[in-house]
Amino acid sequence: MARFDLKHRGRPASTKLLQTSKSTAPVRKRWTLQEEIQEDSLKSIESKAVTEGASRLEERAYKTYLARVRAHQRLGRRNNAWNTSMIALSTSTTIASVGLLVNRPMYGTGGDTLMAALAILSLVSSLVVSSVNYGGRARAMEASYKRIQQISLAAEDVANDPSQATRQRLNELQREYAIAIDASENHSDADYHRSQKVNWRKLWRDSLVSYFPYATLAVPIGLMVPFAKWFIDGL
């Protein structure tokens, strides 16, 4: 009777264990499937956030690129204008001084004083233009906008290619953009407005500064008129 009870007691235990293992298997499978769905959902949300961040970075970098192209053009234009003015003033002053040595009354009774004043003006102007360093700043601005253009293109690739849309890649581009911004001087408000093609009336002051050196060419031209007249009369 004891043996019968032992066998009878053992059978339900194994049967219960088997039933428990069979019943928990589908639960685990369902739980694993839910985890995969949740993980895919999180990845999709993260990828979308990175894509949107890359799109914003691309737009911001492209606007900065356009503004810095305008800044490069402005600095180069001013460099050329002031170089032209300095060369013309130095050349005309030298020629006028030679003419004054040959013909004292060429520039009136104050000719010597005029030549001395123009020589000082030429020296001071050249020192000021050299300290402003338009040429070096234009080259630095050119390197800056080229680097920002590369970052803008890379951000566009990340925004359009899901395989590149990773948080690490976006952080790298944002860090490179910040470094490129700090690597050179910032563009001016006028440069930004020019890149956005706003009304030119808002830019007249900046344009006046850029083209002022050409107005100073009136001084060399005024110096050369008496010399040219004297030279032609002597032929």
* Mean pLDDT, rounded, for 179-202: 86
Secondary structure (DSSP) of 51-103 = HHHHHHHHHHHHHHHHHHHHHHHHHHHHHHHHHHHHHHHHHHHHHHHHHHHH-
Measure the CA–CA gap between 140 and 115, rounded to whole angstroms. 37
Res. 172: pLDDT tops 50: yes
- pLDDT the model gives residue 3: 47
Q: Centre a 10 Å sphere on the Cβ of residue 124 and count the other Cβ atoms it contains.
A: 10
* Token pair for 149: 């253009």
Backbone Cα Rg of the chain: 39
Q: pLDDT tens digits for 36-68?
A: 665 555 566 767 888 888 999 999 999 999 999
Res. 14: pLDDT tops 80: no
Res. 178: pLDDT tops 50: yes
- pLDDT the model gives residue 39: 58
Please choose, from the candidates 150, 165, 152, 149, the residue with its C-alpha nearest in 3D space to the C-alpha of residue 59. Answer: 152
- pLDDT the model gives residue 233: 87
Measure the CA–CA gap between 191 and 197, rounded to whole angstroms. 10
For the chain, domain boundaries: 53-233
Fill in the amino acid letter for 149. Answer: Q
On whether the pTM is more than 0.85, the answer is: no
Res. 207: pLDDT tops 80: yes
